[in-house]
Every structure is written in C-alpha cells, then in structure tokens.
Amino acid sequence: MTPDAYTLTDAKQARLRDLCDAGLCRGRGDTSAVSALCKVVGSTSQDNPAGVHPIDRFFLLAIANAAWSSDQARGVALLPLMIACVGTAEKDRSAWSGAVSLGVVRRVLAYCLRAVNLGEHARACEGASTFGAAADAARDAGNAVYKLRFALVRGPSADRYSWIGAAATVSRDATRVAAANRSPRSAIEAAGTAVSYAAAAVAIGSPDGADAVLGIAVGIGLQAYRVAA
C-alpha cells in the first residue's frame, strides 16, 4: 500500500467534518476522535484508523484526551489535524516528530511560562532553534518553576506550577530524544505528554483555559506536516 492510498476524498472530508462538528468525546467511545477517523477511513478496530501511523495517532490522542472546554470545541479544533494525519502510515516519522518536539518547547511551554510570569524563560524557549538549545531552555524553565512550586504549600497555584514543571521536564526529554534521532515514538510520546500536562496547568481556575494551549498544539502538528510530512 502506498503512502497516498488513504488520502481523503472531498466526500470523506465532509463526513469527517460532520462528525467533528457534532462533538468528539474524551477518551474512548463511539464519538472519540480515533473512532470518528475509523468510521471515515476504515480500520480493523476502533483504535487503529487505516492509513495513520501509530506515532501520529498517539499525538492526536494526547490532544484529544486533554481537558477541552467542551466536546464541540474538541471536534472543531481537531478536524484539520485528523485530516492531515491520514496517509502517514508508511512514512518515516523522524523529521515530523522532531519538528513537533521542538514546537512544543517553543510554543506550548513558552505559553505556560508566561501564564506564571516567567517571561525570561518563555523567551528562551521561543528562541531555541535547535534540539540542544530547546532542551537547555526547558531544563532551566523547569528548575525555575519548581523553585516557585516549593515555596507554595498547596492549593490551585501550587498545582499549576506542578503541572508546568512536569511539562517542562517531559518536553526537555522529547527534544533530547529527537536530537539523538533514535526513537521518534519516544519523542512524540514525551511531546504529547507535555501538551497534556500544559493543558491541565492552564485549565486550573479557567474552564476554557486549556483550549488555547491545545489549539497551539494542533497548530504545531499542522506546521510539522507542512515542513516534514
């Protein structure tokens, strides 16, 4: 089967759009993101849409299972990412996973750092143009976040710092793995986990807060498809 064998026709894209517009649920279920893809492109099970690489599927699931404000918000935002991931099954995912890992530090982690007034570290993350620089920026940001966290005993603020610190740690790991170019799956698993942690952080005290950072993550995935499909 060629990489383009599962390219979505206009009719299939329209069907997928209808499913997304109706709302996608968190986790597994008949109206989950993966299930919706399976209904449109086919599969051997609800968990494995045809033509989608497992690495791309994991990143989609990490975003889909995060704390969106509503099923409708999740569906509308995920549609372009769901379309883009079809046709990746037989492609090398090294460049794509690397681009995503770098983007998570530069955009998702930076967004969270600004939310807790760590602008200097946010700028360092945004300015990182290599995996090594991104890993260093994420490491330093994590250290700064945890220092602030340990000054707090408990409560929502402490929880937010904990989630951001965790996001910094795993996004650092993602760029380190990507730099080694040994395991695209491990890199994307760490990057996807960082997105989930970041969403949990910004959702504290703001039911709609996660939508912004998750929307950024969708944009990172789409940009990675454009430069490293």
pLDDT tens per residue across span 86-130: 999 989 999 999 999 999 999 999 999 999 999 999 999 999 999
Residue 25 φ then ψ, to 5°: -85, 165
What mean pLDDT comes out for the span 49-62?
Answer: 94
pLDDT at 46: 61
Given this model, what pLDDT does residue 116 score?
A: 92
Q: Determine, yes or no, domain membership for 72.
A: yes
Structural domain boundaries, residue 50: 10-85
Q: Minimal CA–CA distance to 199: which of 70, 126, 109, 85? A: 109
Q: Assess contact for 62 and 53: CB atoms under 8 A.
A: no
pLDDT value at position 1? Answer: 41
Please count the residues of the chain: 229
* Total domains present in the chain: 2
| H or E stretch at 13 | helix 10-21
The last residue of a domain, from among 61, 85, 109: 85
CB contact at 8 A, 200 and 163:
yes
Global pTM value: 0.92
What is the H or E stretch that residue 199 is in? Answer: helix 184-203
Residues 164, 104, single domain; the answer is yes
Q: In which band, very low, low, confident or very high, does the pLDDT at 72 lie, cut at 50, 70 and 90?
A: very high
Residue 221 placed within a domain = no
